[in-house]
Structure 1
Amino acid sequence: EITKKSIERQEGPAQTLGRCIPSVGSEILPASSLNTTNITQGINGLLDTLNAREISTKIFEDIARSWYWILIALAISLVLSLLFLLLLRLVAGPLVLVLILGVLGVLAYGIYHCWKEYKTLRDKGATISQLGFTTNLSAYQSVQETWLVALILISVLEGILLLLLIFLRQRIRIAIALLEEASKAVGQMMSTLFFPLLTFVLLLICVAYWVMTALYPLNDVSDPLCTKWWAPSGTDPGCQDVINKTCNPLDNFSITNCPGLTCQFLGYSSSGPAQRSLFNLQIYGILGLFWTLNWVLALGQCVLAGAFASFYWAFNKPQDIPSCPLTAAFFRTLRYHTGSLAFGALILTLVQIVRVVLEYLDHKLRGAQNSLIRCLMCCLKCCFWCLEKFIKFLNRNAYIMIAVYGKNFCISAKNAFMLLMRNIVRVVVLDKVTDLLLFFGKLLVVSGVGILSFFFFTGRIPALKEEFRSPDLNYYWLPIMVSILGAYVIASGFFSVFSMCVDTLFLCFLEDLERNDGSLAKPYYMSKNLMKILGKKNERPSGEKRKKAK
């Protein structure tokens, strides 16, 4: 209720939206401060907050009810990835053949479909001259020239692939043999598949340390804060000399002569030495973060390369493979190759820092109307993106040569680059065959886990309904998405190890071809399958020759 006295004292109406406004103390809340817009915004904000809280609660409930099933899905993805890598020694050749024939079959069907559509529209369809230029792209589907151009392009692509298969069949066989050897190497050293976990932990430690360093307040002890004494209206005039003077908010006291004063924080001071160099320290921290992360990744690549190189250069496999090759490669890398890895990581870090600066400038200049500046910025970003990819490729192969021969980064990078350039066709063929195979493997693992999770969490597997009851969920898509994402991460980790194994064995194979000739002094270390493909063989000692002849 509102008293008559308060109604008479109020300048505005006593009601807002047909309702009485309660008094606050001896004064009434002005009706002018409330209107339909403010109340609607407040109700909408409250509803949004309640919905967000309700949705987050349901999400946590779903995670709590299905976390063990998600772990089972991740375990299935781990088993599928492991089986795929181990079975490559048996099915690498047929699988690559099936994938290649599948690509050719898809292109052949595209040629047939384009020819069928072109034949249909050739007599009664519109031409490009009749249609003209239009922004409605779907209208071009009814134009005969569209299908004719698509038919020509797909036919040319099909012909190029067929010619490549004919002329590069020998190199494709070598790539398949190397994939089989990589599968054998992974099978001999199963611990390498779980080494990315150590790399991931080291990356988390680096990021956590950088976050703690970035959040640590850099304050000068002598003048840490910009704070002033503040007084409300009606303060004693004798306190004017104290107002707006610097104070320390950490001291909980007030001036006795001016009881209304409070120490108000205004901002950080810029007069201290730490404050003046704060920007430089932040740049130093970002540089250190990028450098440390790249060094950790380089460490992982070099350790894996050292382990797989010990597999290749073992003449009698698996008898000559050293015991604990991964552990030995890890300590050997830390002891002898830390500086080389740091130098390679520094080169990559500088390029990444330049890319970050370009992205920052592009964000600041996004509103600029100068088309020349935008074009120049786009070209610079593209060039440095390509440079970063090239340096990553060069560093990866340089780390392999460091693990094999133990030389410094510059010599190893030069030797790796020249070796790859002398065998560029083999590099391209192996890279594309490996990418195709690993893409199929990721697709197989992720799609398999995703489909199984979908049918389980939606209760569409009758056989599992009787044995295992799927949990009651508010959002069944949430554990499905988590399972798919986890399966992709696990498959990527396993296949990254396999990709490093293939690259290491490939460089060792090229070195083996160039340095050895199959004689007793310089025998080949490659597998018998590779020697059979290349038509090479090792000489046998005279005793073995006589024994074989008998």
Structure 2
Amino acid sequence: MLNEASRAVRDVPTTVIFPVMYSFVGIAYFAFWLAVALYVFSCKEKATKNTPENLIEYFGFTYIDVTFNKDLQNALIYHLLCLVYLAQVISYFGFMVLAGVFADWYFSIWNSSQSRKIRGYGTGELSGSPVCESLFRVLRFHLGSLALGALVVTPVRLIRWILMSIKRSTQNAQNGATRCIFGCTNCCLQCLECLLDKINQEGFILTSIYGTNFCQSSFVAVKLIYTNVLRTALLEGISHYIEFFGRITIAAVTTGICLTVFSLDNYFRDNLSSVLSPGIAVFVIAYIIGSLFMLVYEVAVDTIFLCYLIDEQTHPNGPKFAHEDLAKMANKHKNSLTRKKVTLANYNRENKTLSSFLQASCTLVFLLLSTIFSLLLKSKRNKKYNHQQKKGIDIFFLNYLFCMRCLHQAFHFKAQILKQNLHYVCLLQQSFRSNESIIFAVFLCSSLECYVEEIYTKFHNYSNNTHYCYE
């Protein structure tokens, strides 16, 4: 998929320049926002007042009192909300323009040697200026989708920022339980924000392909990814780390070259007292520029992968628009998944053994890790907290984990396991004196066992229809 993205970028080189030009739009909007904020903050009200009697001979009978307008200063909160919201809209705008370019590229016809797409304005041909055409389509038809997608993510982000600001302002008055509540809440909100952002991006790709509305495109994209969840997870994991190392490599190589020049050139060696400050500045600038260029590959990989899934779903006999190397690799992987056909009884027996092995292994690993963690936590906690704070931490962890486990079991209607967990908590509280790490391990292992059981059940139900073993 990365090779396919590289072909797309080579075939449409203007996509590399677009993020640089597009970043000026964000800079211009931020400059406009900052100017408006300064004007609003500096608005003044003038009022004529009488001069005190002892100062009349120096200043006259009246003077002008100038005060800042508090109402307009309070309105800066709404101005800040507009900044966050419109910044997200601008970010999605650039993403959707690039997604439209790569979607057009994928569904265009290859030349005879499959080295480039055929350029022209005929049916199935790639236009001469795909970036301009995608830009026009987004401006003409899809601004409402961008606004709705940003409206979904922005409230979650604002709530998370507000909670973090409250946490920083009350840092000295917090105990262990309060910090844990803030940390757990921030983690949940950040996961929700990441999930909504990913759904929005996939929906924008579908909108670029079909031209449908945002809600319908997001629903179809989630359904398509859910049916190919293994391939999606593998691609996302690999591409994420490759893109991250690409950014770091670009920044590190650029910084190394600059530091070498600073060290060898006589002018810099005589006029610079230290190369640390310019080195840090070069690294930051190079990382930002590298992120802009790697963003093109990130959008290309996501778009081409989703286009391939649509192509594969539309043409059951084989993808029509994919490169032959990509089609061969995908068919080889698909054949390896369905190579072994077994009976239903053997399939059930093998997966029962596998699920039991996973349960036992996970239980052993997490209990071992939790024991080490509990010893480290106990040694550090005794030096940091007094008796009341330690007791509060223990009670909070106990109640929090038990509530999470209760919600999980109540959702899946497993009352018997719920009663067993309550019994486990009572025993552990008496035996280990509310050691939250061991209690956490028990709940985690129990939850993991339920998840393994659910996965096995889903595969079991699926095997009733297919009778295939996916390895």
| TM bucket normalised to smaller | 0.5 to 0.7
- Within 5 Å, which residues of 2 pair with 1:20-419? 178-217=1-40, 224-225=45-46, 239=53, 259=59, 263=63, 265=65, 267-268=67-68, 275-276=70-71, 278-279=73-74, 281-316=75-110, 317-319=116-118, 320-369=125-174, 371-419=176-224
Deviation of 1:260 after TM superposition, in Å, equals 6.7
Q: Structure 2 residue aligned with 1:420, among 211, 225, 232?
A: 225
Q: Distance in 1 between matches of 2:298 and 2:259?
A: 30
Deviation of 1:206 after TM superposition, in Å, equals 1.8
Match of 2:327 in 1: 531
Task: State the one-letter code of the partner of 2:323.
Answer: S
2:314 paired with 1:515: yes
Task: State the one-letter code of the partner of 2:225.
Answer: L
CA deviation digits over 1:471-528, x for unaligned, max 9?
Answer: 6322341433333222222211111111110110000011111111238xxx621111
Say which SS state the counterpart of residue 472 (structure 1) adopts.
helix
Match of 2:298 in 1: 499
Match of 1:13 in 2: none
Say which SS state the counterpart of residue 314 (structure 1) adopts.
coil
Q: Distance in 1 between matches of 2:170 and 2:294?
A: 40
CA contact (8 A) 2:51 2:59 kept: no
Deviation of 1:277 after TM superposition, in Å, equals 6.4
Q: Distance in 2 between matches of 1:218 and 1:488?
A: 34
Say which SS state the counterpart of residue 456 (structure 1) adopts.
helix
Structure 1: runs of 5 or more not aligned: 1-177, 232-238, 244-254, 270-274, 460-464, 537-550
2:298 paired with 1:475: no
Change (3 A) 1:440 1:362: closer
Change (3 A) 1:259 1:484: closer
Match of 2:441 in 1: none
Say which SS state the counterpart of residue 270 (structure 2) adopts.
coil
Say which SS state the counterpart of residue 271 (structure 2) adopts.
coil
Match of 2:262 in 1: 457
- The number of equivalent residue pairs is 320
Match of 1:60 in 2: none
Q: Distance in 2 between matches of 1:449 and 1:218?
A: 41
Q: Distance in 1 between matches of 2:162 and 2:283?
A: 34
Deviation of 1:373 after TM superposition, in Å, equals 4.2
CA contact (8 A) 1:199 1:296 kept: no
Say which SS state the counterpart of residue 287 (structure 1) adopts.
helix
CA deviation digits over 1:96-125, x for unaligned, max 9?
Answer: xxxxxxxxxxxxxxxxxxxxxxxxxxxxxx
CA deviation digits over 1:293-332, x for unaligned, max 9?
Answer: 1111111000000000111101324112221001100001
Q: Distance in 2 between matches of 1:481 and 1:534?
A: 43
Task: State the one-letter code of the partner of 2:303.
Answer: T
Q: Distance in 1 between matches of 2:153 and 2:241?
A: 27
Q: Distance in 2 between matches of 1:293 and 1:217?
A: 20
Match of 2:406 in 1: none
CA contact (8 A) 2:262 2:269 kept: yes
Q: Distance in 2 between matches of 1:217 and 1:299?
A: 28
CA contact (8 A) 1:446 1:487 kept: yes
Q: Distance in 2 between matches of 1:479 and 1:394?
A: 40
Larger gyration radius, structure 1 or structure 2: 1
Deviation of 1:371 after TM superposition, in Å, equals 5.0
CA contact (8 A) 2:41 2:72 kept: no
CA deviation digits over 1:128-177, x for unaligned, max 9?
Answer: xxxxxxxxxxxxxxxxxxxxxxxxxxxxxxxxxxxxxxxxxxxxxxxxxx
TM-score calculated relative to the size of structure 2: 0.62
Change (3 A) 1:363 1:441: closer
CA contact (8 A) 2:43 2:68 kept: no
Q: Distance in 1 between matches of 2:171 and 2:47?
A: 34
Structure 2: runs of 5 or more not aligned: 111-115, 119-124, 333-471
Q: Structure 2 residue aligned with 1:434, among 239, 243, 250?
A: 239
Change (3 A) 1:374 1:228: farther
Match of 1:55 in 2: none
Give aligned-pair identity as a percent.
Answer: 30
Q: Distance in 2 between matches of 1:277 and 1:484?
A: 40
Greater displacement, 504-513 / 477-486: 477-486
CA deviation digits over 1:350-406, x for unaligned, max 9?
Answer: 112212221232233333346554433332222111111111211111111111111
Q: Distance in 2 between matches of 1:373 and 1:266?
A: 44
CA RMSD of aligned residues (A): 2.8
Task: Name the one with the larger helix percent.
Answer: 2
CA deviation digits over 1:339-358, x for unaligned, max 9?
Answer: 00011011111112212221
CA contact (8 A) 1:517 1:524 kept: no
Q: Distance in 2 between matches of 1:399 and 1:375?
A: 36
CA contact (8 A) 2:101 2:130 kept: yes
Q: Distance in 2 between matches of 1:410 and 1:509?
A: 21
Greater displacement, 211-220 / 317-326: 211-220
Deviation of 1:220 after TM superposition, in Å, equals 8.6
CA contact (8 A) 2:46 2:64 kept: no
Change (3 A) 1:186 1:261: same
CA deviation digits over 1:202-239, x for unaligned, max 9?
Answer: 11122122212221146899xx24775555xxxxxxx2
Task: State the one-letter code of the partner of 2:181.
Answer: L
